[in-house]
Structures are given as C-alpha cells and as structure tokens.
Amino acid sequence: MAVRNHLLRLLAGAVTAATPAFAAAQSAPSFPSWFSPPSLPALSSPPPLATKAAPIANVEYFAPRVFPAWQADFGARYWFAEGKTGMSLYGPQSLYGGMVSRLTYRDFVTNSGELYGRMANTYGLFIKGYAGIGGISGGTLQDEDFPTPSFAPYSSTESSQRNGNLSYGTLDIGYDFVRGGDFNLGAFVGYTAFREMLNAFGCTQAATNPNVCQPAVPSGIKIITQKNVWQAPRVGANGSVTLGRFTLTADAAWLPYVRLDGSDTHWLRIGSAAGDFTGPIPQDGSGMGYQLEAQLSYNVTTNINVGAGVRYWHLQTNSGTAHFENHIFEEEGLPQPLFWKTDVFGTFIGASYRFGPYPFPGMSYPFAGLF
C-alpha cells in the first residue's frame, strides 16, 4: 500500500514538471526526507521535418493537353431525291421585254450513289467532302409559250422525262472552334459542283394553240435535252453531338456566287432551213444558293457506323443569258435574258468506317475521346 502511494506521488511530480506554466504557479511538492525524486530531461521544441513537402502540381482543368493525332472516316451512301428545275426566257430588250417562254421540269426522281470522307486532327482542323453519280427518271416537262407581237395564242405542251443523269461533289476545309468530348462546332469554306441532264420525250398540246404539237408528237421521240452545270464556292457551319451510340450531325452552306453553264437542245428545231437552230443554244448565268444536310448515325462498333439523313439544295440565277446569236440559220439571233432555278430534296442512307486515331510521326499518346 505504501509503495503504491509513492508511485502516485512520483507520477504527479512528472506531470507537474512537464507543464512549465503550471509548475511556475504552484509550490514544489514535499517528499519524505528519505525519497529523492528523479530528475526529468528538459523538454525542447519538436525537431523540424527532414525534407519539405512537395508542392501540389497545377491542374489544367479547362485547357487539357492536346495530343497531336488524326483520324479519318470514309464511307458510301445512297441518295434518293425528288427535284424540280425550270427556266424563264424573256424577249430581246430591244424588241420585246416580256416573258416569251417558260420550261418547267417537275416531279422527277434521282437515284445516286456517293463516296464521302472526313479527316480531322486534335487541333480542330478538318477536311471533308463527297462525290456522287446517278440517274434521273420520271417527271414531266411543261413547255409554255406566251403571246408576243409575233406569236399567238398561248401554248402549253406536256412531255415525259426519262433517261436523265446527274453528278455532283463538294470539298471543304474548316476548323472546329468549339470542341468537347461529345460535341463540336466549326466553320468551313469549300467548293461545290452539280451537273444535271434531263430529256423530254413526246409532246401533247394542253392549251389551244393549233400550231404547236398538233398533232401530238409520239412519246418515243426525243424533243428537248437540257444540260446544266452549277458551280459555286461554299461558306458554312458544321456541328455534331453524340449521345451514347448515336451522333447527330448538321451541315449548312451558303453559296454566295453560283455560276451556271448550260445548253438547251430543241431536237425538232435543228435543221438547215431559214430560222432553224444550228444546234444546242448555249446558256449562262450567275446567282446564289444554299445547301442543307442533317444525319443521324449509330455506332455499331468503335470503328463502324450506319446512318440516315436528309438533304436539300437550292440554286438559282439572278441574271442570265440565252445566246441565240450565231445559232440560227440565215437569221441574226439576239441574246435573250433568262432565269434558272433548281431545287432538290431527298433522303440518304449510308455506312462508314473510322481509321485511327493515329499519332503524328514519331509520337505516341492515348487518344480515346479526343475527337
């Protein structure tokens, strides 16, 4: 019992010595004369750390490192469309400035196949384009001739259209100025070309003119061939957003300057008598237009996707000329103003394969989700 009391007093003395502020305010404890408490080592401040802590690295939350890489998508599509195109022809300004004739091809359908591709890198640059070829079938031609000082009465004939064809292509280069893991938005400049040829067969008078297509021309005889080539620079925007396996892409292009080069062949009026045409009548003009496109695609695998979309083109001339000069036997033909307009709307389906991403030569990085 006495030993335990001495141990308690020894513990109290150690605690008191370890608390300098407390020890200074209290008197020294009393111990029996025969007991001498052990001396405690003086306390000192804790030793400094052996090494400094490493600083926390800066984290680029809003500007992730761009790994230099590129990837490419190539595929094929089938485009089914319906079209309408027409011309309004006016008399020579020096003789008669009113409308003298109007040709309207309507309700024809096109079936075409095309190849397309897109290449892009992680810096936002891209190049894209497509090219296609196909046939034009169905539809009708309405050929109207309006009363003039030298022609009357009004005439309206109808012909069937078949055995036409078309070819087309675009090429764009652009930059995605907004880029995320599952979306992008960019702008581009490029060039487009569109060639169409239509053939009209047979001729039936639908008005009251007794001198035009009276009697009717059989449906097996070709009476008119129209060839038009449209070319234009493109300025537009392109964007896409991905939700799971689905990707929605949209493309809109403005055609600020459209150039038209064409020819109109009236087969029954080509001959060697006075007033006959020597051959096709050249036509040209300039104007504007636009091209719109949207597609929804599905990623079957990381590299293979299928999709469907819609496309609409509008091209027109704001000024143009039919060059009758030097194209009429024994008569002095005169240039005549004309205006052309073409609209094509349709749907397409397709599939593509993705190559990459691939690093630029001499580099190797992980690329998942960079495009």
At 9, is the secondary structure helix, strand, or coil? helix
Count of residues in the chain: 371
CB 354 within 8 A of CB 368: no
Tokens coding 49: 């750390």
What pLDDT does residue 38 have? 56
Distance between CA atoms of residues 193 and 304, nearest Å:
29
**Angle at Cα 345 formed by Cα 340 and Cα 346, nearest 5°?**
150
What pLDDT does residue 59 have? 45
Whole-angstrom CA distances from 254 to 187, 291, 314, 335, 348 are 12, 7, 10, 30, 21
Would you call 174 exposed, middle or buried from its count of C-beta atoms within 10 A (0-12, 13-18, 19+)? buried
Q: Residue type at 116?
A: Y
- Tell me the average pLDDT of the chain: 86
CB 136 within 8 A of CB 112: no
Whole-angstrom CA distances from 320 to 147, 198, 285, 313 are 22, 20, 4, 20
Domains, the chain, in order of start with CATH, read: 70-359 (2.40.128.90)
Whole-angstrom CA distances from 165 to 138, 197, 223 are 12, 5, 17
What pLDDT does residue 328 have? 95
What pLDDT does residue 181 have? 78
Mean pLDDT of residues grouped by 10 in the chain (371 residues)? 46 46 46 54 53 51 61 97 97 87 97 97 94 98 94 96 97 94 93 98 96 95 98 97 96 98 96 94 98 98 96 98 94 94 98 89 51 51
CB 195 within 8 A of CB 231: no
Q: What is the CA radius of gyration of the chain?
A: 42
Which are the contacts of 55, defined by CB distance < 8 A and separation ≥ 6? none
Whole-angstrom CA distances from 30 to 8, 20, 41 are 13, 18, 20
Distance between CA atoms of residues 368 and 52, nearest Å:
37
Distance between CA atoms of residues 292 and 347, nearest Å:
12
CB 308 within 8 A of CB 246: no
Convert the pLDDT of each residue in 215-225 to its tens digit. Answer: 999 999 999 99
CB 281 within 8 A of CB 270: no
What number of other Cβ atoms are within 10 A of residue 9's Cβ?
16
Q: Residue type at 222?
A: K
Distance between CA atoms of residues 228 and 261, nearest Å:
6
Write down the pTM of the prediction. Answer: 0.79
What pLDDT does residue 37 have? 57
Convert the pLDDT of each residue in 49-60 to its tens digit. Answer: 555 555 545 444
What pLDDT does residue 269 have? 94
What pLDDT does residue 40 have? 52
Q: How far is CA 301 from the centre of its chain?
A: 23
Closest-CA residue to 135 (of 86, 76, 196, 194): 196
Strand ranges (E), 95-216: 99-121, 125-137, 140-145, 155-161, 164-179, 183-205
At 10, is the secondary structure helix, strand, or coil? helix
Tokens coding 142: 């309405």
Distance between CA atoms of residues 147 and 141, nearest Å:
20
Q: How many CA atoms lie within 13 A of 325 on its CB side?
A: 7
What pLDDT does residue 172 have? 98
What number of other Cβ atoms are within 10 A of residue 75's Cβ?
20
What pLDDT does residue 17 have? 46
What pLDDT does residue 14 have? 46
